[in-house]
């Protein structure tokens, strides 16, 4: 997709964990982890079920609690407004079926909200970013269709487009290829290669790194909440667990609906 954001030199950290413990309530799942990812890197997060991969990336997004140590994203503490605008997220397992019969364009437009702020109305650049993101995932001909009328794999691609529409500096994807057919995985790999080429940092939680092997260069393997391997993706052979992946089932209502409603309530059309 084209980007309105000029490629910036990849300087500094995309994120940095120092002795970081991340979890839920007061229970750490990720324990005492040191990890630095530089801007512009493309990193796979691998490991078996329950090893803490999702919790690790949710810690970057402020969706899991930092219980100890330090987590900084783009040089800022987690939850900083600058970080919220700069980070794109494709959550795990969610499809887009829910109570709100949103169209593809509406769901993808939600990805622009953080950039727009409360007051600014969408302009040509916003509409172009949405259209480009939808085209990038191969769904341009479905722009006006209700998302609920798409297949599970197509709905995953809508969520990828929603994250791309924000033109994020850091794109975090949790199992983006789960339940997506081989042709669509190849499309996604091509999209991510173009996104990476603009200097965007990629972090992809996956059980299927092979599908994105041309894009992801570094692998981090989680094991019982700790990092057991950090190095070239090629050297992580055998760590990727293919014993299981989640079918993309279940409503995404908790994550999507309030934002859909906000978009509609604001009367802002794309
Ligand atoms: N919201 C939550 N509240 C409490 N515990 C949680 C929550 N989410 C995950 N956990 C626990 O954290 C541990 C790690 O889960 P996590 O989802 O991070 O693993 P994962 O490596 O992403 O696994 P998978 O490959 O199955 O997606 C699990 O034991 C899980 O029960």
What is this model's ipTM? Answer: 0.97
Q: 234 C-alpha to center of ligand 1: Å? A: 26
What residue numbers bound the domain in which 151 lies?
A: 13-235
Q: Binning pLDDT at 50, 70 and 90, where does residue 1 land? A: very low
Structural domain count of the chain: 1
- pLDDT the model gives residue 256: 40
**Which residues line the pocket of ligand 1, CB cutoff 6 A?**
24, 29, 47, 49-55, 222
- Cα(126)–Cα(116) distance, integer angstroms: 8
Taking CA atoms only, the protein residue closest to ligand 1 atom 8 is 55
Residue 20 maps to which CATH number?
Answer: 3.40.50.300
Quick check: is 254 in a domain? Answer: no
Instruction: Express each pLDDT in 72-122 by its tens digit.
Output: 999 999 988 888 889 999 988 665 555 567 899 999 998 887 677 666 777
Q: How many CB atoms are located within 10 Å of the residue 6 CB?
A: 7
Quick check: is 231 in a domain? Answer: yes
Q: 23 C-alpha to center of ligand 1: Å? A: 9
Taking CA atoms only, the protein residue closest to ligand 1 atom 30 is 50
Contact between 195 and 171 under an 8 Å Cβ cutoff? The reply is: yes
Taking CA atoms only, the protein residue closest to ligand 1 atom 6 is 24
Whether the full predicted model's pTM is greater than 0.90, yes or no, is no
Helix (H) or strand (E) holding 154: helix 152-165
Q: For residue 233, what is the DSSP state?
A: G
Q: Binning pLDDT at 50, 70 and 90, where does residue 251 land? A: very low
Quick check: is 59 in a domain? Answer: yes
In angstroms, the Cα distances linking 142 to 114, 180, 191 are 24, 17, 18
Quick check: is 208 in a domain? Answer: yes
Place of tokens 């341009």: 140
Q: Which atom of ligand 1 is nearest the CA belonging to 64?
A: 1
208: number of CA atoms within 13 Å, CB side? 19
Q: Which atom of ligand 1 is nearest the CA belonging to 52?
A: 18
- pLDDT the model gives residue 85: 83
Q: 10 C-alpha to center of ligand 1: Å? A: 31
Q: 16 C-alpha to center of ligand 1: Å? A: 21
- pLDDT the model gives residue 239: 62
Instruction: Express each pLDDT in 33-53 by its tens digit.
Output: 999 999 999 999 999 999 999
Instruction: Express each pLDDT in 199-227 by its tens digit.
Output: 999 999 999 898 899 999 999 999 999 99
Quick check: is 73 in a domain? Answer: yes
Percent helix, strand, coil in the chain, to 5, is 35, 25, 40
């Amino acid at each position: 997709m084209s980007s309105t954001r000029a490629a910036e030199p990849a300087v500094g950290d995309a994120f940095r964990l120092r002795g970081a413990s991340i979890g839920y309530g007061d229970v750490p799942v990720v324990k005492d982890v040191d990890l630095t990812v530089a801007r512009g890197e493309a990193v796979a997060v691998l490991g078996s079920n329950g090893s803490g991969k999702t919790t690790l990336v949710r810690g970057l997004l402020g969706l899991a609690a930092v219980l100890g140590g330090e987590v900084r994203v783009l040089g800022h503490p987690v939850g900083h407004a600058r970080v919220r605008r700069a980070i794109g997220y494709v959550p795990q397992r969610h499809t887009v079926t829910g109570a709100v019969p949103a169209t593809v364009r509406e769901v993808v437009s939600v990805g622009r909200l953080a950039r727009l702020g409360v007051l600014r109305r969408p302009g040509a650049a916003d509409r172009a970013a949405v259209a480009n993101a939808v085209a990038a995932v191969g769904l341009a001909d479905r722009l006006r269709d209700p998302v609920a009328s798409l297949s599970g794999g197509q709905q995953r691609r809508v969520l990828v487009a929603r994250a791309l529409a924000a033109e994020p500096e850091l794109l975090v994807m949790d199992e983006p290829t789960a339940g997506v057919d081989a042709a669509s995985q190849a499309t996604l790999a091509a999209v991510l290669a173009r996104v990476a080429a603009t200097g965007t940092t990629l972090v992809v939680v996956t059980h299927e790194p092979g599908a994105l092997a041309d894009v992801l260069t570094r692998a981090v393997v989680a094991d019982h909440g700790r990092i057991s391997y950090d190095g070239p993706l090629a050297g992580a052979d055998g760590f990727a667990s293919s014993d299981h992946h989640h079918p993309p089932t279940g409503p995404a209502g908790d994550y999507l609906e309030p934002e859909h409603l906000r978009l509609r309530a604001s009367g802002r059309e794309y």
